[in-house]
Structure 1
Amino acid sequence: MDDLLILLVFACCVAAVLSALAWLGVRGRRRGVGGEVMGPFEEMWHPSAPRYRAEIRVQEERLVPMPSADAKDQTP
Protein backbone atom coordinates (compact mmCIF):
# COMPACT_ATOMS: atom_id res chain seq x y z
CA MET A 1 0.00 0.00 0.00
CA ASP A 2 2.86 2.37 0.81
CA ASP A 3 4.46 1.74 -2.58
CA LEU A 4 1.25 2.67 -4.35
CA LEU A 5 0.99 5.89 -2.34
CA ILE A 6 4.60 6.83 -3.13
CA LEU A 7 4.03 6.15 -6.83
CA LEU A 8 0.84 8.22 -6.80
CA VAL A 9 2.54 11.19 -5.09
CA PHE A 10 5.46 11.01 -7.52
CA ALA A 11 3.13 10.88 -10.54
CA CYS A 12 1.15 13.86 -9.21
CA CYS A 13 4.34 15.89 -8.69
CA VAL A 14 5.57 15.15 -12.21
CA ALA A 15 2.17 16.03 -13.66
CA ALA A 16 2.10 19.29 -11.69
CA VAL A 17 5.57 20.31 -12.91
CA LEU A 18 4.75 19.48 -16.54
CA SER A 19 1.43 21.32 -16.31
CA ALA A 20 3.14 24.38 -14.85
CA LEU A 21 5.73 24.39 -17.64
CA ALA A 22 3.04 24.05 -20.30
CA TRP A 23 1.01 26.89 -18.76
CA LEU A 24 4.12 29.06 -18.49
CA GLY A 25 5.00 28.37 -22.12
CA VAL A 26 1.55 29.30 -23.40
CA ARG A 27 1.46 32.43 -21.27
CA GLY A 28 4.94 33.47 -22.34
CA ARG A 29 4.22 33.05 -26.02
CA ARG A 30 0.98 35.01 -25.72
CA ARG A 31 2.75 37.90 -24.01
CA GLY A 32 5.83 37.73 -26.20
CA VAL A 33 8.31 36.91 -23.42
CA GLY A 34 8.68 33.22 -24.20
CA GLY A 35 12.37 33.37 -24.99
CA GLU A 36 13.45 34.83 -21.69
CA VAL A 37 11.24 32.69 -19.49
CA MET A 38 11.24 29.39 -21.34
CA GLY A 39 14.73 29.68 -22.87
CA PRO A 40 16.57 27.27 -20.56
CA PHE A 41 13.84 24.62 -20.82
CA GLU A 42 13.66 25.00 -24.58
CA GLU A 43 17.44 24.57 -24.85
CA MET A 44 17.22 21.25 -23.03
CA TRP A 45 14.81 19.78 -25.56
CA HIS A 46 15.85 21.77 -28.64
CA PRO A 47 19.61 22.55 -28.50
CA SER A 48 19.62 24.77 -31.58
CA ALA A 49 16.82 26.98 -30.22
CA PRO A 50 19.09 29.93 -29.28
CA ARG A 51 20.25 30.21 -32.88
CA TYR A 52 16.65 30.40 -34.13
CA ARG A 53 15.67 32.92 -31.44
CA ALA A 54 18.63 35.11 -32.41
CA GLU A 55 17.60 34.96 -36.06
CA ILE A 56 14.03 35.93 -35.20
CA ARG A 57 15.31 38.87 -33.13
CA VAL A 58 17.45 40.05 -36.06
CA GLN A 59 14.50 39.82 -38.45
CA GLU A 60 12.26 41.75 -36.04
CA GLU A 61 14.84 44.52 -35.83
CA ARG A 62 15.03 44.76 -39.62
CA LEU A 63 11.32 45.41 -39.97
CA VAL A 64 10.51 49.07 -40.54
CA PRO A 65 7.20 50.11 -39.02
CA MET A 66 4.64 51.29 -41.54
CA PRO A 67 3.38 54.84 -41.03
CA SER A 68 -0.17 55.05 -39.77
CA ALA A 69 -3.02 56.40 -41.85
CA ASP A 70 -3.10 59.51 -39.65
CA ALA A 71 0.54 60.29 -40.46
CA LYS A 72 -0.20 60.33 -44.20
CA ASP A 73 -2.91 62.94 -43.69
CA GLN A 74 -0.60 65.26 -41.72
CA THR A 75 2.31 65.37 -44.19
CA PRO A 76 2.42 68.51 -46.37
Structure 2
Amino acid sequence: MDLLPGLLALLSLPLCLAGFVWYALRARRGGSGQSLMAPFEEIWDPVSHRTNIEIQIEAERTPETPAPGDPLRLRGPG
Protein backbone atom coordinates (compact mmCIF):
# COMPACT_ATOMS: atom_id res chain seq x y z
CA MET A 1 0.00 0.00 0.00
CA ASP A 2 2.96 2.35 0.52
CA LEU A 3 4.03 1.92 -3.11
CA LEU A 4 0.71 3.02 -4.58
CA PRO A 5 1.30 6.82 -4.47
CA GLY A 6 4.77 6.43 -5.99
CA LEU A 7 3.47 4.12 -8.68
CA LEU A 8 0.63 6.52 -9.54
CA ALA A 9 3.05 9.43 -9.74
CA LEU A 10 5.38 7.41 -11.98
CA LEU A 11 2.56 6.42 -14.34
CA SER A 12 1.02 9.88 -14.51
CA LEU A 13 3.86 11.41 -16.57
CA PRO A 14 3.60 8.99 -19.52
CA LEU A 15 -0.18 9.32 -19.44
CA CYS A 16 0.07 13.13 -19.61
CA LEU A 17 2.56 12.94 -22.48
CA ALA A 18 0.33 10.47 -24.32
CA GLY A 19 -2.57 12.89 -23.86
CA PHE A 20 -0.56 15.73 -25.39
CA VAL A 21 0.44 13.55 -28.34
CA TRP A 22 -3.18 12.49 -28.88
CA TYR A 23 -4.38 16.10 -28.75
CA ALA A 24 -1.64 17.28 -31.11
CA LEU A 25 -2.52 14.62 -33.68
CA ARG A 26 -6.21 15.43 -33.36
CA ALA A 27 -5.57 19.16 -33.69
CA ARG A 28 -3.45 18.71 -36.81
CA ARG A 29 -6.10 16.57 -38.50
CA GLY A 30 -9.00 18.79 -37.52
CA GLY A 31 -7.26 22.14 -37.84
CA SER A 32 -8.18 23.17 -34.31
CA GLY A 33 -6.21 23.53 -31.15
CA GLN A 34 -4.28 26.65 -32.01
CA SER A 35 -4.67 28.16 -28.58
CA LEU A 36 -3.44 25.09 -26.69
CA MET A 37 -0.53 24.13 -28.93
CA ALA A 38 0.61 27.66 -29.82
CA PRO A 39 3.04 28.10 -26.89
CA PHE A 40 4.77 24.82 -27.71
CA GLU A 41 4.94 25.70 -31.39
CA GLU A 42 6.39 29.10 -30.52
CA ILE A 43 9.12 27.49 -28.42
CA TRP A 44 10.18 24.80 -30.91
CA ASP A 45 9.42 26.47 -34.25
CA PRO A 46 9.00 30.25 -33.95
CA VAL A 47 9.04 30.87 -37.72
CA SER A 48 6.17 28.46 -38.26
CA HIS A 49 4.29 30.04 -35.35
CA ARG A 50 4.59 33.52 -36.85
CA THR A 51 3.51 32.16 -40.25
CA ASN A 52 0.42 30.55 -38.72
CA ILE A 53 -0.49 33.82 -37.01
CA GLU A 54 -0.24 35.66 -40.35
CA ILE A 55 -2.43 33.02 -42.01
CA GLN A 56 -5.06 33.38 -39.27
CA ILE A 57 -5.05 37.17 -39.58
CA GLU A 58 -5.46 36.95 -43.36
CA ALA A 59 -8.32 34.45 -43.02
CA GLU A 60 -10.16 36.70 -40.56
CA ARG A 61 -9.70 39.85 -42.62
CA THR A 62 -12.88 41.14 -44.24
CA PRO A 63 -12.86 42.04 -47.93
CA GLU A 64 -11.86 45.60 -48.63
CA THR A 65 -14.49 48.11 -49.59
CA PRO A 66 -14.16 49.29 -53.18
CA ALA A 67 -12.29 52.51 -53.74
CA PRO A 68 -13.97 55.41 -55.53
CA GLY A 69 -13.64 54.83 -59.26
CA ASP A 70 -13.47 51.04 -59.03
CA PRO A 71 -15.91 49.32 -61.39
CA LEU A 72 -19.10 48.15 -59.71
CA ARG A 73 -19.49 44.45 -59.23
CA LEU A 74 -23.05 43.66 -60.22
CA ARG A 75 -23.05 39.88 -59.81
CA GLY A 76 -21.72 37.81 -57.00
CA PRO A 77 -19.19 35.02 -57.48
CA GLY A 78 -20.43 31.90 -59.24
Greater share of residues in helix = 1
Which one has the largest radius of gyration? Answer: 2
Matched residue, 2:51: 52
In the TM superposition, residue 11 of structure 1 has moved relative to its aligned partner by: 2.1
Q: TM-score, normalised by structure 2?
A: 0.51
- The aligned length equals 58
**Which runs of 5 or more structure 1 residues have no equivalent in the other structure?**
62-70, 72-76
Higher RCO (Cα < 8 Å, 6 or more apart):
1
Aligned identity (percent) is: 34
Match of 1:25 in 2: 24
Q: After TM superposition, where is structure 1 displaced by more than 3 Å over at least 4 residues in a row?
A: 4-7
Unaligned runs of 5+ in 2: 60-77
Q: What is the aligned partner in structure 2 of residue 65 from structure 1?
A: none
CA RMSD of aligned residues (A): 2.9
